């Protein structure tokens, strides 16, 4: 079984911007039920189909498959829920781990999240200085939820 063990954080400031170049991502969802999500993603010139199970803490099942770019494009345009998620991802190495910083655009403009994948849920690690509060358990920050409840709608609400 493939497991994803990931912690997610808000980004505190712009210090990360000088540490890496970003790659454009375009993604949409075919299913966003709590028990499973099915995501279609375009990263540069590659297409992917990803199936994720329900999160249990920072852990969930994850299966990812490369698919033809034209099929990914068609699914994004014709089958996925709207709006699509558009973001730039920067991968930054820090103290032996790779942090993925996502800067969102469109209806999620202004949201910047950082994720780190771990070997186990209790793994100890040092966070970069630009990392803010943890939002791993906050469902508002799940990419699949940003479709129905974009950041621009709730960002300034308590």
Active site positions, annotated: 29
CA-nearest of 65, 67, 42 to 52 is 65
CB–CB of 83/150 below 8 Å?
yes
Structure tokens at 5: 């063990």
The number of residues in the chain equals: 158
DSSP 24-68: EEEEEEEEEETTEEEEEEEETTEEEEEEEE--BTTEEEEEEEEE-
Angstrom distance (rounded) from CA 29 to CA 148: 11
By the 8 A CB rule, do 35 and 83 touch?
Answer: no
């Amino acid at each position: 079984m493939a497991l994803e063990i990931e912690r997610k954080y808000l980004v505190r400031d712009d210090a990360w911007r000088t540490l890496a170049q970003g790659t454009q991502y375009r993604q949409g969802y075919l299913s966003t039920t709590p028990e499973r999500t099915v995501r279609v993603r375009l990263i540069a010139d590659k297409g992917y189909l990803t199936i994720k199970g329900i999160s249990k803490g920072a852990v969930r099942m994850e299966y990812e498959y490369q698919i033809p770019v034209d099929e990914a494009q068609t699914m994004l345009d014709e089958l996925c829920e709207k709006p699509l998620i558009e973001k730039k991802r920067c991968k930054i190495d820090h103290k032996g781990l790779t942090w993925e910083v996502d800067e969102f655009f469109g209806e999620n403009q202004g949201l910047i999240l950082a994720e780190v994948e771990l070997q186990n849920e209790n793994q100890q690690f040092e966070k970069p200085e630009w990392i803010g509060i943890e939002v791993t358990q906050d469902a508002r920050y799940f990419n699949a939820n940003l479709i129905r409840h974009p950041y621009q709608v709730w960002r300034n609400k308590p």
